[in-house]
Amino acid sequence: VRTLFRGVVLHDPAADRGISPVTDVLVDGTRIAATHLPPPEAGDVDRVVDGHGHHLLVPGLINAHFHSPANHLKGAIPGLPLELFMRFESPADESLRPTPREAYLRTMLGALEMLRTGTTAVQDDAFLMPAPEPEIIDAICQAYLDCGIRATVALDQPELPEVDKLPPLSGVPAAWRAAIQAPAPMPAADLLERYAHLFTTWHGAAGGRIRAAVSVSAPQRVSPDYFAALDELSCTHGTPLYAHMLETKVQRTLATTHPRFGGRSLVGWTDDLGLLNERTNVIHAVWVSDDDLDRIAATGATVVHNPVSNLRLGSGIMPWRPIRDRGIPIALGVDEAICNDAADMWNVVKTAGLVHTLTGEPPGTWPSADEVLDALWAGGAAAMGHPELGRVEPGCPADLVLLDLHSPAFTPLNDIAGQLVWCEQGRSVVLTMVDGAVVAEASRVTTVDESALMAEARECFERRRPVWHKAVDATAPLVPAYAAMVERAARTDIGMSRWVGGR
């Protein structure tokens, strides 16, 4: 299929107000064939999309970090620190085992929201409670395949008992002690079998639009052997490895309280194991030290910044400028619909462009609009290990979004970068294309029956809501012990702070 975007403007940081002169862009098959071309004869293309001289064609947005299994829980929880929030996010309760259809629907909810608002690629770090069954893996990947988004899927499964993932917990009720010391729901050998299923069945599906990656969830949640096995899998297939690192102050203090880390930070521990490299997605990197950042820079790993999630969970402010100054690629992510609480990237882009002003550092250190867009596109491409993404250039995959510059966000037109970062909220999107196929147009996803899927999801999760509440309520006796642990970490002087104000 050949599609001609006629009469569009492109983002050009070097040009006045950041936009190119009006031009045409030809997409041939899955790739951008030419930009700035003399208009081909109308008969030579299958479709002409008219940009009317005022539609902006930019790379599709890249959501570099996401967990689809909570897509149906947006807005459901109060603001809480991560360690208290996680009992809402993923109670390991048998009653919550999803059917394949539920997994398909909840994945689709996020994908539809992303496509409508111009996000064309997502890295889904899917935690599948209680364990990643092949039919659930298939349901997630099938949803991504059907709706047309570019997706990389990993299995975010802890492998160690709960007590080994946290600083000491005191005051755990007797009835819960066995549960928090019990092994994780699935041992490493079985998890690796599920990975074999994921890679064999889905890696490279739909012409490479669907890919598999690996996830340790976080270094403290797995054994070194399992970590190394996943890293090898990632190396063999040339795909990313996802690792949440130093998202919270609790995680920073873990190293000083748990003997297995020998006083090293989670980044230092991972690096000393030889498991930090250019395939690693260091997710969050909020409570990182200078030494951690030097190690990340030396290995070529990418940091994935989730600023809305960090605000929602009170995690702290990621040190943007020290990371940029070291040349570490920064990508942007939603993190999760239950702690964002949307699956669109515009609110992430805007927050990334705002939150770093709270550091009190000089304004020259705050992210510029161009830097935020660089993180969105080039950083996202680096995280995905797919450097051709995030560009409107001949030969690159045709993952594109068309924005109407006559919308309120861009009227009048002052500066494209500034207005993309601080003004646009997804309402100017008129068309989304992935891999050369139009997947959303006029605020509707065109690849699937969006209304029917949304209606089915409403009905399905309405039925599930009481079950979820019951599973969450069942964990209430643990709250005092977790709250005390979080508070102890908050009060510990560690010689740095990522919070604004008091402590």
Can you read off the two tokens belonging to residue 4?
């001609």
| Between 292 and 335, CB nearer to Zn ion | 335
| Between 59 and 307, CB nearer to Zn ion | 307
Q: Write the CA distances from 322 to 65, 369, 374, integer angstroms.
A: 21, 17, 16
CA 146 from chain center: how many Å? 20
Work out how close the CB of 339 gets to Zn ion at its nearest, in angstroms, rounded to a whole number: 8
**Nearest residue to Zn ion, using CB?**
335
* Total residues at interface with Zn ion (CB under 5 A): 1
Q: Which range touches Zn ion (CB under 5 A), out of 6-14, 327-335, 349-357, 462-470? A: 327-335
Write each residue from 335 to 364 as x if it is in contact with Zn ion (CB under 5 A), else as -, in one continuous string.
x-----------------------------
Axis-axis angle for helices 134-147, 188-202 (nearest 10): 30
Work out how close the CB of 244 gets to Zn ion at its nearest, in angstroms, rounded to a whole number: 6
Write each residue from 469 to 498 as x if it is in contact with Zn ion (CB under 5 A), else as -, in one continuous string.
------------------------------
Can you read off the two tokens belonging to residue 466?
């009481």
| Between 51 and 91, CB nearer to Zn ion | 91
Can you read off the two tokens belonging to residue 133?
């069954």
Work out how close the CB of 63 gets to Zn ion at its nearest, in angstroms, rounded to a whole number: 12
Q: Which range touches Zn ion (CB under 5 A), out of 263-271, 331-339, 378-386, 459-467? A: 331-339
Q: CA-CA distance, 22 to 53, in Å (whole number)?
A: 6
* Angle, alpha carbons 428-142-150 (nearest 5°): 40
Count of residues for the chain? Answer: 503
Can you read off the two tokens belonging to residue 193?
């079998």
E strand or H helix at 6: strand 2-10
Work out how close the CB of 64 gets to Zn ion at its nearest, in angstroms, rounded to a whole number: 11
Work out how close the CB of 453 gets to Zn ion at its nearest, in angstroms, rounded to a whole number: 25
Q: CA-CA distance, 456 to 458, in Å (whole number)?
A: 5
**Interface positions, 430-459, toward Zn ion (CB under 5 A):** none
| Between 148 and 219, CB nearer to Zn ion | 219
83: contact with Zn ion by CB under 5 A = no
Contacts of 23 (CB under 8 A, 6+ apart): 8, 9, 10, 35, 36, 37
Work out how close the CB of 42 gets to Zn ion at its nearest, in angstroms, rounded to a whole number: 47
| Between 308 and 402, CB nearer to Zn ion | 308
**Interface positions, 175-194, toward Zn ion (CB under 5 A):** none
Work out how close the CB of 246 gets to Zn ion at its nearest, in angstroms, rounded to a whole number: 13
Query: Is 3:399 a contact under the CB 8 Å cutoff?
Result: no
Number of helical (H) and strand (E) elements in the chain, helices listed first: 18, 17
Positions that interact with Zn ion (CB under 5 A):
335
